[in-house]
């Protein structure tokens, strides 16, 4: 189960996130990136964050620690930004928190080298969960203390948005041509050999048990939350065994934007940094 904390102060929004996540402080003295149940993407995004984030961690990939966070909507009353205030007011109760990594930089392939072994593990994992949101356009990776961290797994397991087609959807191949790590010669075969045996029904039962019941109730077609948890397990278990055979890796796109100015700012003395660049996240 995930640790549960209570938000004590809303610090600032992260406007680069489509769901308007925010940095918050909690009663365990930690600082987290909070993702809200009241955001437009809905609770399934948070379900995906937990299942895929905890699965990645269980496979030895670096994912910031996840917690569930209680939010008193009264925190939003003092927010001057109307959009933020409405989001906080709509998200009272249990939300999701991700450990904030201070000073982390967005992944840039021009500034950070990834080994074929690590690239292969990340690509295989993304194929397993059908992550459509780790492309060069939006890598959803951070570099912190020299290590690569995976974040933002809300756009995964696309099949859970239409359960009647889940089996067929989960059987589809995974196109990794535009994956953020495609250019690093990912060793997918070795990754599959190492990671696929770790994806067991027992592990997936433990992971899905961490999803709060209140995010699973009233799902059309399911009588109980346990039945819905089993529905999450089945496609992941089946996909783990053979997805490496169905990963498409065509020539990656040649025109890719770089975030290099952010990396440059991290290497400059404060007086030399361009206005607005603090080297942080």
Give the tens place of pLDDT for each residue, 226-258. Answer: 999 999 999 999 999 999 999 998 865 555 555
Mean pLDDT for 61-90 is 92
How many angstroms separate the CA atoms of 2 and 98, rounded?
11
pLDDT, position 123: 98
165-192 burial: b if 16+ Cβ within 10 Å, else e = ebeebbeeebebeebbbbbbebbbeebb
How many angstroms separate the CA atoms of 49 and 44, rounded?
9
pLDDT, position 17: 59
State the average pLDDT for the chain: 89
Least confident of 52-56, 112-116, 234-238, 275-279: 275-279
Q: What percent of the chain has pLDDT over 90?
A: 76
Position of tokens 């961490």?
210
Position 269 pLDDT exceeds 80: no
Q: What percent of the chain has pLDDT over 70?
A: 88
How many angstroms separate the CA atoms of 140 and 123, rounded?
13
Least confident of 67-71, 105-109, 164-168: 164-168
pLDDT, position 42: 84
Q: Are 277 and 261 in contact (CB under 8 A)?
A: yes
pLDDT, position 265: 42
Position 271 pLDDT exceeds 50: no
Q: Which residues contact 119 (CB under 8 A, 6 or more apart)?
A: 181, 184, 185, 186, 187
How many angstroms separate the CA atoms of 233 and 54, rounded?
13
Q: Are 34 and 21 in contact (CB under 8 A)?
A: yes
Mean pLDDT for 166-187 is 93
Greatest extent of the chain over all pairs of C-alpha atoms, in Å: 61
Q: Are 161 and 87 in contact (CB under 8 A)?
A: no
Q: Concatenated DSSP letters for 53-108?
A: HHHHHHTT-----EEEEEE-GGGGGG-S-HHHHHHHHTT-EEEEEEE--TT-EE--
Confidence of residue 18 (pLDDT cuts 50, 70, 90): low
pLDDT, position 114: 97
């Amino acid at each position: 189960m995930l640790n549960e904390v209570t938000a004590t102060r809303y610090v600032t929004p992260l406007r680069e996130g489509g769901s308007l996540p925010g940095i918050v402080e909690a009663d365990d003295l930690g600082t987290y990136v909070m993702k809200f149940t009241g955001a437009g993407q809905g609770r399934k995004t948070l379900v995906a964050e937990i299942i895929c984030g905890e699965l990645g961690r269980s496979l030895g990939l670096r994912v910031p620690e996840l917690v569930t966070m209680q939010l008193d909507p009264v925190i939003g009353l003092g927010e001057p930004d109307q959009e933020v205030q409405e989001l906080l007011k709509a998200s009272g109760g249990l939300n999701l928190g991700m450990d904030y990594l201070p000073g982390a930089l967005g992944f840039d392939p021009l500034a950070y080298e990834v080994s074929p072994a690590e690239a292969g593990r990340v690509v295989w994992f993304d194929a397993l969960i059908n992550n459509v949101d780790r492309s060069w356009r939006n890598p959803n990776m951070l570099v912190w203390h020299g290590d690569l961290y995976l974040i933002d797994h809300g756009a995964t397991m696309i099949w859970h948005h239409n359960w009647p087609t889940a089996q067929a959807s989960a059987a589809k191949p995974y196109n990794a041509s535009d994956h953020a790590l495609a250019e690093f010669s990912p060793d997918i075969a070795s990754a599959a050999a190492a990671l696929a045996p770790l994806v067991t029904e027992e592990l997936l039962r433990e992971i899905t048990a961490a999803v709060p019941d209140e995010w699973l109730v009233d799902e059309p077609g399911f009588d109980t939350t346990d039945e819905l948890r089993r529905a999450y397990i089945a496609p992941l278990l089946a996909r783990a065994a053979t997805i490496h055979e169905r990963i498409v890796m065509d020539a990656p796109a040649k025109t890719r934007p770089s975030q290099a100015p952010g990396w440059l700012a991290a290497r400059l003395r404060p007086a030399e940094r361009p206005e607005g660049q603090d080297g942080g996240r």
